[in-house]
Amino acid sequence: MSIKIAIQGVKASFHEEAAFKYFGKDIETIECESFKKTCEMLKHGKADYVVMAIENSIAGSILPNYNLLRDYRFHIIGEVHLNIQQNLLALPGVKLSDIRTVESHPIAIRQCDEFLSDHPDWAIREGMDTAGCAKRIKEEKLTTTAAIASEFAAKIYGLNILEKRIETHKKNATRFLVLSNEVVEQKNANKASLSFQTGNSVGSLASVLQCFAEQHVNLSKIQSMPVVGRRNEYDFYVDVEWKKQADYDAAIRKVLKHTVNFSIMGEYIKNEKV
């Protein structure tokens, strides 16, 4: 029986591509209309894992997903980096001059702002998912609408590519997290995602960061989110990488003395390939 992966979006979405990249093609993807729905599927045992986008090299962190990580407290067991290539898709026979409306996910639209600014007459509509917009064009036979989506989506939904590689920055990558309800021990783990709070005194965060520096543990990302209902208090989310396990273990022991509500969200193997 193939494992079930909950993804936000429909078939041929970037989330499905990320799931294939991490788990291989022999999986069943469960299409969900929202990231919250993917978490509910995992929570209730209807999915084995969730693949969730967490940041894009152009659009930045996907902040609502940090809230979901905090609320559901799933375990991060891995990560996937995916090169994002955006294309303009339309029904066969439709020409560029026929287009009146372009639909896609808001982040995909932002990634293609330079191309879209060359076509000021087009109406831009935000959708829930890149592949979902492509699917809608196919199902509703929309002859004046184009979608911004992947080559994979064009293939799956039988659409033509009117313009290839329309993303503004060609080095456009999204990082996805792989989430599990259970702790999955990763041998040779060399990366961790941590969360904590610090005191409000001067230099309290600097003291924590110094603990990592002293142990030669690299801080690859830091993100702060307000603590709900508590003014001037923040949750800090950090990703750290190390070469020697002993250095990481020593850093964690030191950090515990300077933080509250400390949590190891996951220890996993860094994904080198984009």
Identify the CATH homologous superfamily for domain 191-268. ACT domain (3.30.70.260)
The residue behind tokens 């079930």 is: 4
Q: Does domain 3-84+172-180 have CATH number 3.40.190.10?
A: yes
When pLDDT is cut at 50, 70 and 90, the band that residue 228 belongs to is confident
- pLDDT the model gives residue 200: 79
Mean pLDDT score of the chain: 95
Beta bridge mates, 175: 55, 81
Q: What is the pLDDT of residues 127-163, one digit of tens each?
A: 989 999 999 999 999 999 999 999 999 999 999 999 9
Q: At 245, list the tokens.
A: 């396990």
Give the rounded percent of residues in the chain with a pLDDT score beyond 70.
Answer: 99
Evaluate whether 125 touches 101 at the Cβ level (below 8 Å). Answer: yes
Q: Where in the chain is the domain with CATH 3.30.70.260?
A: 191-268
As to burial, measured by CB atoms within 10 angstroms (0-12 exposed, 13-18 middle, 19+ buried), residue 177 is buried
Q: What is the pLDDT of residues 58-95, one digit of tens each?
A: 888 999 999 999 999 999 999 999 999 999 999 999 99
Evaluate whether 31 touches 7 at the Cβ level (below 8 Å). Answer: yes
Predicted confidence (pLDDT) at residue 274 exceeds the cutoff of 80: no
Give the rounded percent of residues in the chain with a pLDDT score beyond 90.
Answer: 88
In CATH, what class is 87-163?
alpha beta
